[in-house]
Structure 1
Amino acid sequence: MSEEQTVSLVDVLEEDEELEEEASAVLAGSDSDHCSYPQGYVKRQALYACSSCTPKGGEAAGVCLACSYKCHEGHDLFELYTKRNFRCDCGNRKFTDLQCKLHLEKEELNSLNKYSQNFFGVYCTCSRPYPAQQDHGITRLTCSQHLGCEVPDCVELQEMTCESCMNKSPFLWTYAAHLSVPAVQVKEEREEDESNTTLPLKEDKGEDAVEPGCKRSRQEAEPSCRLEELQAFDHKGVQSGAVFWPSGWRSKLCCCTTCKGRLSAAGLSFLLDESDTVLAYENKGKNNEQRAPGHDPLMSALDQLNHVQQLEIIHGYNDMKSELKDFLQRFAEDGKVVTPDDIRQFFEQQSRKRRRDDAGCFFPT
């Protein structure tokens, strides 16, 4: 019989801290108190879909973080992580029996919003339902077994583009051949001695050879196009599988007039914006959380007390934390499992100790 797997309280606390950090990264970048509708089509925000209000077979709709709390409490919600350029639908025509509690005046529809199967709790090309897909996913959109390739083991990995989206904008395969991590796997049609994929942009001319078109000297009347330079050395082959991009890959895209137009026509202008990335959004959320400690109810309560009371509570908390650590340490040393009765006994002892301390205290009148 195999030993029952156990976890320590430290493991539980560390996991809880990781979950809190992840939640802060995703949610702190969005407003949890006010509907985002007045902001228009928000650059990136946390979104939810409510199956209680918009069941499958109806019209897809998404609601902001605040509305998920205030207007859809107790409903069945699908987590959509974050979406870009989206305006909150809560209470519009798609919600026949619900009115937004946070912003009453809304247009019937948000015509520029984009929807997908995700809004009905379905993910990946295999249409895996929510939340089962989370047990198999590398992302919240694609199951790992349906990426079409193996996930590269690289600490610099930042973003991923699935094969379907790559095929919608074929010029991205040219960038993938030179920028992806690792380089996209291409089924070559040439001989092995011609399969060299190290592709120089031009003859060695110093650092200018690798600079994006938008960073070249303004004195050049017609700056060269980096994409065309890459295409000139491109091998003809069949590309497949998801593409993984390293940090800073967007800054290496060509942003000449022609390429900007190409990206705009494909709806990909956001690729030229480094602040558009999920990483940038999450960092913003973490920074917002650090700058707004007033949301902590414990700290808010402490602020209402005088200095002496604050010190008493802080000292009491530190004493209890130290004693709890010593209490649990004994179980760890003896290899014993902490039971609910053990925890209850600990706090009963703390309560008795507190009563004894209070009996010997004298407070000024």
Structure 2
Amino acid sequence: MAGPLAGITVLDLSSVIAGPYATQILGDMGADVIKVEPPQGDIMRAAGPARNAGMGAAYLNCNRNKRSITLNLKSPEDRARLLEMVREADVFIHNMRAAACARLGLSHEELLAINPRLVYCAIVGYGQDGPYRDRPAYDDIIQAASGWAGLEQDSGAAPRYAPTIVADKTTSLYAVSAVNAALFHRERSGAGQYVEVPMFEVMASYLLVEQMGGMTFSPPLGPPGYSRLQSKHRRPYKTMDGYISVMPYNGEHWVRFFTEAGKLDMAGDPRLASSAQRAAIIDELYEKLGETLLERSTEAWMSILRSADIPCSEVNTVASLLNDRHLKAVNFFVSIEHPSEGKILATKPPIRFSKTPCTISRPSPSLRAAEASLDARVPADFGNVL
């Protein structure tokens, strides 16, 4: 069975992560994604370990379920070929700066004039109506600008970046949602439109859901922030022989935890019954939690906590995640035979559709295949794209 976006053609002029991860998800959902690369290829081809030049791990993990073609968009001939593809496409997506797009003659005004049904999605660093619109944007920069890196300061630590490209990948998810919403609108109206997905605004919006705190109200009811998340004692906790995550979330959880741990004085604390009072003493509770967990082994605590139905988990590393028994049971990791890279390990699409399942139908394309496709004429149905 075909995925829910079967029949939708996406022209993907994006590079690095924010755009390619979004278009990979659209491809997983069944869209026919055509990756349009410059002759030198997407810069992410060189990132991470690789068996062959231009086929790095990060590239392979963001570009499956795509066909590929190389075009030099500064060449009038190649630009004309791209515009022919635009006439037949449903979605056009890029993460170039607006000035670069304008120089190439690929603005949304120009492309929507060619194809009024086109959903034109621009992933940008900053909203184009604001004073930051021309600034370069990378994941670290957006983590800093959006307040993400500064959250650590509220816990008394130095600012730091998340050890994953959280801004790029979060923006990708917003882009997928936005493109699908625009396609739904087109289904009802027949009209395409321009969709702008700015990294800065996306991450600020994402962060402020809970961190707006008392500043939500006018006049403010208190400072910004969410006290539980900013407790200096909130962390994975050390046991006698490892680390675990434990999150007593309500009063019953806390009472059961302290009862099972033999801390009956804490279990009987009347403040545990009120969410407001628990919030006021959250540092004290988390500190006591950490001290108590040092008293037994990880295995012993996991047995106790799960029996008491208290939210908990082992602390996985990336390496141990590959052996997680739940992920194995749901066949999360799949082995793919790549035509140039041999066997590679991939994660299957995590979303399940009962009638239109996602599939992995194509491995990430090599640049060699893209160069070969450039030598052939590009017909309206893209049939010669490799």
TM-score using structure 1 length? 0.28
TM-score using structure 2 length? 0.27
Q: Which has the larger radius of gyration?
A: 1
Whose RCO is larger (CA < 8 A, sep 6+)?
2
